């Protein structure tokens, strides 16, 4: 399986508060939260399979909705309104060595 990492946007709508908490905790282990119920994950194909299979185990297919979108290598992002991140944090990109997201403090 390829080790090349791809960036994915994972979004979900979970109808049960109990399942929602489980899904949120699971996703925080695998991706960066960018909004309520919206995460960005940079993973290999094996990592994507791990995320998808974990989500499938946690959700109720009849009542919940999970979507995974692949993103281009350099996505353009516009943010309007009250952002999820702490004030002054601007998401700039990914550290290729670790796959971790890199933030930059912005002077207000």
- 38 in helix, strand or coil? strand
pLDDT digits (tens, 9 = 90+) for 27-71: 999 998 888 899 999 999 999 999 999 999 999 999 999 999 998
% of the chain beyond a pLDDT of 70: 69
- Is residue 3's pLDDT more than 90? no
pLDDT digits (tens, 9 = 90+) for 64-101: 999 999 988 777 777 666 665 544 444 555 555 554 54
Cα-only R_g, the chain: 15
What backbone torsions phi and psi does residue 101 show, to the nearest 5 degrees?
A: -80, 140
Distance CA 46, CA 43 (A): 8
Bin 51: left if φ > 0, else alpha if -120 < ψ < 50, else beta: alpha
* CATH of region 6-105: 3.30.70.240
pLDDT of residue 1: 57
Q: pTM (2 decimals)?
A: 0.74
């Amino acid at each position: 399986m390829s080790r090349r990492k791809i960036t994915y946007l994972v979004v979900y709508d979970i109808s049960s508060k109990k399942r929602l908490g489980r899904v949120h905790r699971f996703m925080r282990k695998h991706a960066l939260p960018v909004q309520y119920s919206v995460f960005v994950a940079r993973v290999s194909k094996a990592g994507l399979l791990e995320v998808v299979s974990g989500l499938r185990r946690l959700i109720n297919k009849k009542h919940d909705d999970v979507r995974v979108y692949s993103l281009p290598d350099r996505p353009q992002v516009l943010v309007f309104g009250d952002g999820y991140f702490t004030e002054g944090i601007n998401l700039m990109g990914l550290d290729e060595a670790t796959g971790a997201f890199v933030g930059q403090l912005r002077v207000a």
